[in-house]
Structures are given as structure tokens and as C-alpha cells.
Amino acid sequence: MSAMSRDTDSRPIPALIRDQAIAWFTLAQSGCMSDAEQRQLLNWREASSEHERAWQRLSSIPLSLQRHAGPLADPLARQLAGRRHYSELDRRKALKVLVGFGLLGGLAWQGRDSHWVQGAMADYHTGTGERRQRTLPDGTRLWLNTATAVDVRYTDSARELHLRYGEIEILTASDAAGRPFRVISQEAVLQPLGTRFRVRRENDGQGTFLAVTQGRVAASSLAGGAPTVIEAGWQARIGAAGVGTPQALEVNEGAWVDGYLIAERMRLADFLAELDRYRPGLLRCDPAVADIRLSGSYPLGDTDQVLAMLADSLPVRVQRRTRYWVTVGPR
């Protein structure tokens, strides 16, 4: 497909390519592209017909681009273009304008539900394989696991974190003003009572997962019902049906804060599903080796090293079709 052709193919755009196109489109609309970035965009479009199809679909959203190019560029894009450094806050501002004007809307794109879009609009976010730690204005410590997006909303009356997706760990600090602290997700409201705890949410319909390591957390479902207090050493899932029955905490699940994935007689299929969260592309487990058990401590900073460790210690072989398509199967 040439750079000047239009998209007449109604097939869905693959999610990864869609998010890449949205990223490039957002940068292009900001007015802040350097000459090098413009060349990179052209190279990306020419690298694949699917890339070009994704770009054309974004560029041809019905007349919205032409109708709102002025409001977007004036004053926002010119303001950003005048800055030497295009910060994460600037990128978020530009993206919010695009979404607000509907430039990323439409059933074909579902831009608001895209992890890239949600992440770019969040106050704090991590990409695949990234982990970060932040200290909030009140001294509360926040850890973000791989592929996580969270908003911080501190007001005169409350301290709130809104978890869009992913996983966080929180060590709450006392507040001189006595403001309550809450973590809010699509399914739950969690109010710690002086504590350290983890919250995990994926866009898979499984709800919000809470694990308490210190203190207590009052967990409420947005579907209704009385709060359930989860004590230290316990975990629970909160969903449309309410707060689930608390279960004993699996102590090794929080090892990601220290950069490790710890397994104790864990099924290989489950281990690889967890490791897959920390690397781009597809990591697949052949059913023939799915039930092999493994134990050990594995560094999350180098998932290729982890795969090499598995090949050395287990009767498995790591097959790479591409860098982003890996299968672990029998030798």
C-alpha cells in the first residue's frame, strides 16, 4: 500500500499496530516532531502494509481532523512546539485534546480503551517490562509493576489513587490533615487502615485483586454491599458479585517490587503466563510441557535470561520465530 493510498479494508487493525499508530498520530498532531522523528514515522509506515493501513485509518476519521486542526494547533500544538523538550505531561495534554475532540474515537479504534491511550493519559504509567517507584506528596510510597497506569487525586478532603490497569503496591503515610486514603478501580473502593498492600487489575473481566501485607484494608465493591475488612496475610478478589471470600496470602507474589519472580513448584504454563507480562510480544507454552513444575528466583530485568535458565534446568527448548514470538516446548 503506498503512502498516498486510502484505507478501504474493513478488517480490524491488530492491537499492537493500532497502539503504535496512535502513538505516532499523537506525536504528529502535537506539532513537536523533530526531523529525525518524521523520518522514523515514514520508515514505520513503509515497513508494513498494515502499518500504513493503520495510519490511513487514523488520518481519515470523518472530517474531525480537518474540523479540529485549528483548535488543536492553536494554541496547544504551537505552545508545545515552542518547547525544546516535549515532556510526558505535554504528551498527555495533547492526547487528551485528541480524545476530547473525538479524533481517536470510533468503534473501529476504541481509543479510550487502548492501554497505550490510557497509559499516556495517566499521571503515572509503566510500559511492558518497566517497574517504577514514586513518593507521593504526603510521603506515601507507590510502586508500579509492569504495564500499569494510575492517576493521583489529592484534594483538601481526600487522597485517592485511581488504578486504570496493572498492579501497584502502596505503603501509606499518615496525613497531618487526617484525609482518608482510597484506591479506586473500575470494580472496587479500597480504604487502608494504616497499611501496606497490593492492588492488581487487568482488562480481562476478572475484577480487582487485593493483597494485604501489613495492617488492614476495607474493601468495597462498586456493585454495592457492605465493606469487607481484609487483614494482613490475606487476599481477596472484588468484582461485580461483590467482595470474594478472603484467601491466605501467597507471600511470593509481591517479589516483583524487588525485581524478582519467585516460583515454588509452579506449573510452567502459569510461570510463563506471569513472565509474559514483563516482555513484549507473545510468549507461548506448548501443552506438552505445561505441567512441568519449577521452583526458583528469577530476575525480571532480563526475561531472555530467564528463558535461558529454563532451557538449562528443565527438559524444554526455547523456540524463537521472531524476537516477539517465542514458544517454550519439549526438547
Q: What is the pLDDT along the chain (331 residues), one digit of tens a residue?
A: 444 444 455 677 776 787 778 777 767 766 667 777 788 888 889 888 888 888 887 776 543 343 444 434 334 444 444 444 445 555 555 555 555 444 444 434 444 455 666 776 788 988 889 999 999 999 999 999 999 999 999 999 999 999 999 999 999 999 988 999 999 999 999 999 889 999 999 766 789 999 999 999 999 999 888 899 999 999 999 998 899 999 999 878 899 999 999 999 999 999 999 999 999 888 999 999 999 999 999 999 999 999 999 999 999 999 998 888 999 999 9
- Tens digits of residue pLDDT in 15-67: 678 777 877 776 776 666 777 778 888 888 988 888 888 888 777 654 334 34
User: What is the fold, at CATH topology level, of the domain defined by 259-330?
Assistant: Phage tail protein beta-alpha-beta fold (3.55.50)
Q: Judge whether 140 and 170 are in contact, CB under 8 Å.
A: yes
Whether the upstream peptide bond of residue 75 has omega within 30° of 0, thus cis, is yes
Q: Which three cell numbers stand for residue 254?
A: 509481591
Spatial distance between the Cα atoms of 303 and 174, rounded to a whole number of angstroms:
37
The model's pTM is 0.71
Cα–Cα distance for residue pair 260/280, rounded to 1 Å: 18
Q: Which residues pair with 238 in a beta bridge?
A: 208, 243
Q: How many residues does the chain have?
A: 331
**Domain segments of the chain: what residues?**
15-121, 153-251, 259-330
Residue type, 178: G
- Phi and psi at 187, nearest 5°, equal -110, -20
What's the pLDDT score for residue 95? 55
208: three-class secondary structure by DSSP: strand
Neighbour tally for 137: CB within 10 Å = 10
* CATH class of the 153-251 domain in this structure: mainly beta
* DSSP letter assigned to residue 73: I
* CA–CA separation, 10 and 200 (whole Å): 35
